[in-house]
Structure 1
Amino acid sequence: MRVFLETEQLVLRPFTDADADADGLFALDNDPDVMRFINGGRPVSREAIHTQTLPRLLHDYPCFGTRGYWAAEEKTTGAFLGWFEFRPLDEHSPAVVELGYRLNKAAWGNGYATAGSRALISKGFTDLAVERVTANTMAVNVRSRRVMEKAGMSFLRHFTGDWPEAIAGSEHGEVEYVLARTDWEQRR
Structure 2
Amino acid sequence: MATWTETPRLRLRPFTSADAGVLADLHGDPAVMRFVDDGRPVSREVVEHKTLPEILAEYRDLPAGHGCFAAVNARTDQFAGWFSLKPAASRGLDAGGTEVGYRLVPAVWGRGFATEGLGALVWKAFTELDAERVVATTMTVNTRSRRVLEKVGLKLVRTFFLEWPEYLEGAEHGDVEYALSREEWVSSTARH
Q: 2:28, 2:44 within 8 Å by CA — same for their partners in 1? A: no
Q: 2:62, 2:86 within 8 Å by CA — same for their partners in 1? A: no
Displacement of 1:61: 5.8
User: Unaligned 5+ residue runs, structure 1?
Assistant: none
Distance 2:99 2:51 in 1: 17
1:20-31 pair list within 5 angstroms: 20=20, 22=21, 24-31=22-29
Equivalent residue of 1:42, what SS? coil
Post-superposition CA distance 1:135-171 (Å, at most 9, x none): 0000000000000000100000000023232211111
The amino acid across from 1:12 in the alignment is: L
Distance 2:43 2:186 in 1: 43
The amino acid across from 1:79 in the alignment is: Q
Displacement of 1:180: 0.5
More strand by percentage: 1
User: Normalising to structure 1: TM-score of the pair?
Assistant: 0.91
Cα RMSD, aligned residues only: 1.7
Q: Does 1:55 align with 2:46?
A: no
Q: 1:61, 1:88 within 8 Å by CA — same for their partners in 2? A: no
1:3 is aligned to 3
Distance 2:60 2:87 in 1: 7
1:100-179 pair list within 5 angstroms: 100-179=101-180
Equivalent residue of 2:32, what SS? coil
Task: Report how many aligned residue pairs link the two structures.
Answer: 182
Distance 2:147 2:54 in 1: 26
User: Normalising to structure 2: TM-score of the pair?
Assistant: 0.89
Q: Does 1:33 align with 2:34?
A: no
Distance 1:61 1:97 in 2: 17
Bigger CA drift: 29-38 or 162-171? 162-171
Displacement of 1:118: 0.7
Bigger CA drift: 45-54 or 120-129? 45-54
2:93 is aligned to none
1:42-121 pair list within 5 angstroms: 42-58=40-56, 59-60=58-59, 64-89=63-88, 96-121=97-122
Q: Give runs of ≥4 in structure 1 deviating > 4 Å.
A: none
Displacement of 1:130: 0.6
Q: Percent identity?
A: 49
User: Unaligned 5+ residue runs, structure 2?
Assistant: 90-95
